[in-house]
A and B are shown apart, each in its own frame.
Chain A
Amino acid sequence: MSIVVFAEQRGGTLRKITYEVVSEGKRLAAAAGDSLKVLLAGSDVAGLAEELKKFGADEIAVANDAALADYTTDAYAAVLAAYIQQENPGLVLLGHSAIGKDLAPRVAARLDAGLVSDCIDVKFADGDYAFVHPIYAGKAIATYKVNSAVKMATLRPNVFPVEENAGAGSVVDFSTEIPAPRTKVLEVKQQGGDRPELTEADIICSGGRGLGNPDGFQLIEQLADILGAAVGSSRAAVDAGWRDHQFQVGQTGKVVSPNLYIACGISGAIQHLAGMGSSKCIIGINKDPEANIFNVADYGIEGDLYKVVPALIEKLKEVKG
């Protein structure tokens, strides 16, 4: 049997999630005694196969077609479904990214396959996979088994460690008939600057209502700049119009799991914790000693964020040179 991994690229660059999913695919392939096959789809992406070789896949199949220049559900689903039908793998893995979330259920429905979304762990034991997926925004953890011949899962970003491996096999071409997509991409707008994307970031600095005004985010941004961090926000700050919804962290925003999450002027409501509770290290900065954020923070600082954050920025400047 084989394990198939969908290698996600956008605009000719492999996404960080791809390295994570390929690394996990390799670990599972070793555990299950399966081979690992990676499907790379896009236009002018053949060069990326070299990069993928670092992860030791037994085969890298490249679907290189001008019709795959933009991500469209119709075109990409046709390619991934055809590749799965050709390879007949036991397991198919994608990232739980915008593309993975759109593509995986579409292909799963085409193949009548079971799919567990947003896994934080995949275990192989006694010849079967167990898929671990947080439900109720992390308030409970559910383990699933999938009973279809092809089992599918999407993996949560920033959870699975990236690991390079030797022993990469061949790079082969893959082509199939690509239907004319029924959606057309008119425009893509990427958020400017070189700030990491929220779900991929190692460090996130977030601000809440406690900032008091929209300008408060300038301070959060300064902190983020020093740490190379992404900037997030609570819903209260989004509802106040201080920040766009795409930066909201929580049950009805982004679910993130960075190494370090710094919550400034955020009370720690249950819906906010749902989005960042799986962060490896949490810092809460809040003037209210009773704030709920202190019940989850590894380190808390009780005080006015307008005093604490500038001091923190100075100290970080000092140690980071």
Chain B
Amino acid sequence: MKIVTCIKQTFDTEAKITIENGKVSDQGVNLIVNPYDEFAVEESIRLKEKNGGEVVVVSVGNDKTQEALRYCLAMGADRAVLIQDPALENGDNHSAAVALAKLLADMEYDLIFCGKEAVDDGAAQVPSRLAEKLDLPQANVITSFELGDGQATVTREIDGGTETLEVQLPAVFSAQKGLNEVRYPSLPGIMKAKRKELKVVSLADLGLSAEDVAPKAELVQAELPPPRKAGRVLKGEVEEVVAELVKLLQEEAKVI
């Protein structure tokens, strides 16, 4: 069983966002493996532990991203590939998907796992774009995965409920919280990870040009949202406060 797992390094969800020259600054920010991608890595490792095979973690990123890939290796992935190129630095979801698809086109895989979205741009595009570029079926936002013969049965979240799907393999799956409980790397895992292969490839190595990955969506500017002003804290006896609140909701906020 060969599994490829796509991960992205993102800001810690606690991170305070600051803007510099119309862009989000990464100064002093703690970087993590995108939380949803951790579910993808965990599921891949569990499947390998059960069925044998290999888990390859792949990412598009920069020097710092090696740390995120090492973390996945410490969790139990077998090797890692990082696509790194100056031409990808201002890339969009199209850029990342094109680069990943080209890398994967020359790899063997039965399953491809991603996280359902990255907590930075919250776009949820790469899994579906990747599936399209590889001409594979997709199942997004899955909360359960059961491997069958040439197919998998998954549960995925839909609006207001869930759906059970049978998916022909190979396919791309994107992981949602609930799929599994993510492990922490063990000390031996961390030691072993240091010796595992982490290969860095450029666009040229993949046979791609900067033009092939030129972004289709370009950031004009990022800004901080207008701060939400603290409102009024109502004080007094419960009955009075509640009566005042209901009146405010009806007459001032006009929301009920």
A interface list, Cβ under 8 A from B: 10, 15, 73-74, 77, 97-99, 101-102, 104-106, 108-110, 112-118, 130-131, 133-148, 181-191, 197-200, 202-203, 227, 245-246, 248, 251-252, 255, 259-260, 270-271, 274, 277, 280-283, 289, 294-303, 307-308, 311-312, 314-316, 319
Contacts and interface: CB of A to CB of B under 8 A. Distances in A.
A77 B138 CA distance: 12
A184 B177 contact: no
Interface stretch (B41-49, B52-60, B201-209, B248-256): B248-256
B202 to A, nearest CB: 22
Given A109-B128, A301-B245, A315-B246, A140 B167 contact: no
Contacts of A181: 137
A274 B228 CA distance: 12
Given A140-B225, A251-B119, A295-B230, 16 more contacts: A98-B157, A101-B140, A108-B94, A135-B24, A143-B222, A188-B163, A189-B161, A190-B161, A248-B177, A252-B35, A297-B230, A298-B232, A300-B233, A303-B238, A314-B242, A316-B246
B164 to A, nearest CB: 4
- If over half of A's interface residues share one DSSP class (helix, strand or loop), that class is named, otherwise mixed; here it is mixed
A312 B255 contact: no
Contacts of B124: 101, 105, 117
Task: Give the 9 A-B residue pairs with the shortest CB-CB distance, closest first.
Answer: A114-B216, A182-B137, A109-B132, A298-B231, A105-B128, A109-B129, A105-B125, A197-B160, A300-B233
30 contacts: A74-B137, A98-B159, A102-B138, A105-B93, A115-B125, A130-B220, A131-B217, A135-B121, A136-B11, A137-B122, A139-B17, A141-B223, A143-B220, A144-B219, A183-B138, A183-B171, A188-B161, A189-B163, A198-B160, A246-B157, A260-B253, A271-B13, A281-B249, A297-B233, A300-B231, A300-B232, A301-B241, A301-B242, A303-B241, A314-B242
B218 interface: yes
Contacts of B160: 190-191, 197-198
A138 B225 CA distance: 7
A144 B166 contact: no
A307 B245 CA distance: 14
B210 interface: no
Given A183-B137, A260-B249, A294 B230 contact: yes
B162 interface: yes
B217 A281 contact: no
Contact of A259 (B36, B162, B219, B255): B255
A101 B127 CA distance: 11
B228 A135 contact: no
B208 to A, nearest CB: 14
A69 to B, nearest CB: 13
Contacts of A137: 13, 119, 122
Contact of A312 (B24, B128, B143, B245): B245
- If over half of B's interface residues share one DSSP class (helix, strand or loop), that class is named, otherwise mixed; here it is mixed
A186 B166 contact: yes
B179 to A, nearest CB: 10
A319 B163 contact: no
Contact of A146 (B119, B163, B216): B216
A194 B176 CA distance: 25
Contacts of B15: 136, 139
Given A118-B123, A300-B232, A300-B233, A315 B243 contact: yes
A148 B164 CA distance: 35
B238 A308 contact: yes
B250 A106 contact: no
A135 B166 contact: no
A189 B19 CA distance: 43
A120 to B, nearest CB: 10
B238 A307 contact: yes
B165 interface: yes
Contact of B122 (A117, A297, A302): A117
